[in-house]
Amino acid sequence: MKYLLPLALAFLPTLSQAQKPNEAQQAVVRVITLNEKGDTLHTTYGYFASPTAEVVAPYAAFRGATRAVVTDTKGRQADVLRIVAASDNYDMVRVTTAMPTKKLPFLTRSTAVGVAGTAWQQTFFSTEKQAQPLATNVLSADANNVFPYYTLSAPNEEQYVGCPIVDNGQVVAIAQRNLLDKAQGICAISAAVADSFRVNAAAALNSDFNAIRIPKQLPTTSENDAYSYFFMMLRTQRDSLQVQPLIQDFTTAYPKHGAAMLDLASYYARLRQYAEADAWLQRRFALSGDGLDAVYDAQAQLIYEKALADSTNYPTWNLEAALKAAEKSYALQAKPAALLQQGVILYSMKRDEQALEKFKTYNTTAAASPQSHYFAAQVLMRMKVADSLIVAELDKALEIAEKPYKGGDVAAVLELRAYYNEKLGNVRAAVLDYNDYEQIVGANRLSAQFYAIRASLAEKARIYQVALDDFNSAIARATNSEEREDYRINRALLCLRVQLWDDAIATAQQAITENPQAADAYKIIGVAYGEQKNRARALEYLTKAQQLGDENATTLLQKYSALPANRKVSSASHSATPAKRGSAAARKR
């Protein structure tokens, strides 16, 4: 027997291994997702994919979930902590969990690619220690996709969805529901999908990722990647269930990240949690080092915005405090931006002379812009200086503006200069300013009122075709029948002025079609016929205007009653283009 003992010992490892429960089965988990109220959304399955207890499971079960719980084959439960990656397209999510990692059974990925007839094993979730995977064969394989896709012989049942298909103890594919009608075999996608995507900065804008309300994992590739993701999430995410854990994770990992502190100050200020915002600013000041002028800039801006929007809460954040912060910034580094900031704050404090001085100083620097000259013009307006001085300041703004004009700042300058040019009687210049304004803003974004104003100015400037076209634009954009009637009447009157009789009649007739009681429209048509020497039609429409209460219609009836009864209409009266001068009758309107 002593000679047989070494031989028996040699067999012990093999026998012991055969008696162990199947490790692939042990790696399978059940996942229950819940909503904010604690109600169960879905029950699905997945598997441990790393020694740190990361789990891969179907994405669909996680959509809308605020919490998820994983149960392993030993009955141990653990919360899902963070979402690592998510894809609706591949119906897959990767998560971290709080499951203890000591002796954790997990599956590594096989690089094998199956073909029709390949034999694999289909795992499933079971708390039975002796449970063994099902034998399954590849019925068909589609290797033309980025990741191979299979149809297997395993039953197309819910208990297998999300479970790993294994080959020699490694995961080779992940089971997915076969959606074909009366499908017998289950589908599976290559397990390589689970390793193909991880959270990165772009994930902050990923709709699949954000549809899950469980907190997300920070990118682990670098501090810059983590900060980029953090930065984007703070600005785009409104769900506190996701943002607060993110803040905790980032500030724990990078406790001295100054830019993040300023981001958090802005974030809490937007939420009107001013004490919290102030606390983050103070933490950034405590870091000291370079760049404190930028911290004062941020502080000044946050306090300024808060003071304008909310004068009640956190009263220490007021305009005076904002000004002091801007002054400290300039004291540390005499940069033009701090001067501009001081000017804006002083203007809000109605300290106009000081504000104007800051703007003037700023405008002598290379940083001067159309906006800064516009600010100076706003101060001059409130100081009630001569209109010509305001226009001169606006002229300076446009002198340095990029050509061709573009941008909202330049549009604001043009609009204001058009207004003051009109006040000064420079109506043609006002029309030209509005033309440039239209080019910047775009005709599709302009209102009926804009075109009515420019039409009136163009008429005064005797740019008649522009005026007629603008009245057409105003009519097309009018939001109600009263507006349309008003614009049509004004257009028809202009047609009378420039002796476009037929156009005047057609425009006024449109007003009557929409409002048969439009007395002005009848009067205009009567005058147009009268100027064409059509006595009968002139008296017909003027009589109707008189019946509707138009006081001037009686005088016009007397005038056109004197016309010969059957005089033919002169062909010259049907002018197709605006005349240089209007008739006496048109001028009396």
Q: What is the pLDDT of residues 356-402, one digit of tens each?
A: 999 999 999 999 999 999 999 999 999 999 999 999 999 999 999 99
Q: What percent of the chain has pLDDT over 90?
A: 84
State yes or no: pLDDT of 36 exceeds 60.
Answer: yes
Of 502, 467, 501, which is closest to residue 487 (Cα–Cα)? Answer: 467
Right CATH for 23-97 from 3.40.50.2300, 1.10.443.10, 2.40.10.10, 3.30.70.20: 2.40.10.10
What CATH topology corresponds to 448-587? 1.25.40
Residue 439 and residue 333: Cα distance in Å, rounded?
A: 39
Q: Are 318 and 281 in contact (CB under 8 A)?
A: no
Average pLDDT, the chain: 91
Asked whether the predicted pLDDT for residue 476 surpasses 70, the reply is yes
Q: Average of pLDDT values for 204-210?
A: 87
Q: Which two tokens stand for residue 485?
A: 């009637």
* Per-residue pLDDT, 130: 86
Distance, in Å, from the CA atom of 191 to the CA atom of 49, rounded to the nearest integer, reads 10
Among the listed residues 147, 138, 140, the one whose alpha carbon sits nearest the alpha carbon of residue 120: 138
pLDDT at 18: 30
465-503 residues labelled b (16+ CB within 10 A) or e (exposed): ebbbbbbbbbbebbeeeebbbbbbbbbbbbbbbbbbbeb
Residue among 240, 305, 291, 242 nearest 262 (CA): 291
Structure tokens at 385: 């200086």
- Cβ contact 451:477 at 8 Å: yes
Q: What is the pLDDT of residue 437?
A: 98
**DSSP line for 239-288:** -HHHHHHHHHHHHHH-TT-HHHHHHHHHHHHHTT-HHHHHHHHHHHHHH-
Q: How far is CA 265 from CA 79, 177, 262, 309, 542, in A?
A: 31, 47, 5, 16, 71
pLDDT computed for residue 182 by the predictor: 84
215 and 82 Cβ atoms separated by less than 8 Å: yes
Residue 511 φ then ψ, to 5°: -65, -40
Mean pLDDT of 138-145: 88
Give the C-alpha separation, 582 to 565, whole Å. Answer: 25
pLDDT value, residue 10: 36
Confidence bin at 183 (pLDDT 50/70/90): confident
Q: For 556-568, write each residue's pLDDT tens digit.
A: 999 999 998 755 5
Q: How confident is the model at residue 573 (pLDDT cuts 50, 70, 90)?
A: very low
Q: Where does the pLDDT of residue 569 fall: very low under 50, low under 70, confident under 90, or very high at 90 and above? A: very low
- For residue 571, pLDDT beyond 50: no
Q: What is the mean pLDDT of residues 39-44?
A: 97
The residue type of 251 is: T
pLDDT greater than 90 at residue 19:
no
Confirm whether 23-97 and 448-587 share one CATH topology.
Answer: no
Cα(177)–Cα(138) distance, integer angstroms: 15
pLDDT band at 239 (very low <50, low <70, confident <90, very high): confident
**Pick the residue with more confidence: 21 or 388?**
388
For 235: left if phi > 0, alpha if psi spans -120 to 50, otherwise beta; the answer is alpha
The pLDDT assigned to 566 comes to 54
* Domain range annotation of the chain: 23-97, 119-195, 448-587
Q: How confident is the model at residue 455 (pLDDT cuts 50, 70, 90)?
A: very high
How far is 448 from 116, CA to CA, in rounded Å? 68
For 266-320, the pLDDT digits (tens) are 999 999 999 999 999 999 999 988 899 999 999 999 999 999 999 899 999 999 9
pTM of the model: 0.77
Whole-number pLDDT of residue 539 = 96
Task: Note the pLDDT tens digit of each residue in 489-545.
Answer: 999 999 999 999 999 999 999 999 999 999 999 999 999 999 999 999 999 999 999
- What number is the average pLDDT over the span 124-149? 91
Residues of the chain with pLDDT > 70, as a percent, come to 92
Cα separations (Å) of 425 from 337, 388, 506? 36, 11, 32
Q: What is the mean pLDDT of residues 547-560?
A: 94
Please tell me what DSSP assigns to residue 115. Answer: -
Single-letter amino acid, residue 61: A
Q: 9-18, 169-178, 438-447 — which is least confidently predicted?
A: 9-18
Per the model's pLDDT, the better-predicted residue between 354 and 197 turns out to be 354
> What is the rounded distance in angstroms from the CA atom of residue 411 to the CA atom of residue 251?
42
Residue 572 pLDDT > 80: no
Mean pLDDT of 195-210: 84
d(CA 51, CA 103): 9
pLDDT of res. 11:
34
The pLDDT, as a whole number, for residue 231 is 94
What local confidence, expressed as pLDDT, does residue 577 receive?
41
Least confident piece of the model among 210-219, 291-300, 580-589:
580-589
DSSP label at 62? G
pLDDT band at 587 (very low <50, low <70, confident <90, very high): very low
| Nearest C-alpha neighbor of 77 from the set 17, 141, 34 | 34
Residue 524 to residue 7: CA distance in whole angstroms: 121
Do the Cβ atoms of 341 and 362 come closer than 8 Å? no
C-alpha–C-alpha distance, residues 163 and 155, integer Å: 12
